[in-house]
């Protein structure tokens, strides 16, 4: 049974925004989350588990971007989360300068 056309995105820009937010933005959030986590938890354990959990988080964020109505808002949210996690990484480098 095909999808009802009234629920599908008709704008090509919205399609582009959702696809790029899912692939690129979701990957940026997943990787920056694991990098921020590695500064507060033992790095070797985070690196070993990040191989699997990055893919799981990335696929979840990709599906989440397609569920939203506006792809540009998803981009804004993903960039905001990435910026927040990047500041955590920056602060972590100040307070934990010796990183094993």
pLDDT digits (tens, 9 = 90+) for 57-76: 999 999 999 998 899 999 99
Residue 22 confidence (pLDDT) = 94
- Pick from 46, 26, 22, 36: which is nearest to 85 by CA? 36
Long-range contacts of 25-28 (CB under 8 A, 24+ apart): 25/61, 25/65, 25/74, 25/75, 25/78, 25/79, 25/82, 26/57, 26/58, 26/59, 26/61, 26/62, 26/64, 26/65, 26/78, 27/58, 28/78, 28/79, 28/82
Listed by start position, the domains of the chain span 12-95
Contacts of 89 (CB under 8 A, 6+ apart): 32, 35, 36, 39
Residue 47 confidence (pLDDT) = 84
Residue 97 confidence (pLDDT) = 66
Query: What is the per-residue pLDDT across 20-54, written as a single tens digit (0 to 9) for each?
Result: 999 999 999 999 999 998 888 877 888 888 889 99
Residue 93 confidence (pLDDT) = 81
What does DSSP assign to residue 8?
A: S
Q: How many CA atoms lie within 13 A of 97 on its CB side?
A: 1
Show the tokens assigned to 15: 């399609």
Name the pTM for this structure: 0.85
Q: What is the mean pLDDT of residues 2-9?
A: 77
């Amino acid at each position: 049974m095909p999808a009802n056309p009234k629920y599908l995105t008709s704008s090509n820009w919205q399609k582009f925004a959702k696809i790029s937010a899912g692939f690129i933005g979701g990957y940026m959030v997943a990787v920056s989350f694991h990098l921020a986590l590695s500064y507060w938890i033992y790095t070797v354990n985070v690196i070993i588990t990040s191989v699997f959990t990055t893919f799981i988080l990335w696929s979840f964020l990709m599906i989440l971007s397609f569920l939203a109505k506006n792809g540009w808002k998803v981009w804004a949210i993903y960039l905001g989360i990435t910026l927040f996690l990047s500041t955590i990484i920056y602060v972590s480098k100040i307070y934990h300068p010796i990183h094993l």
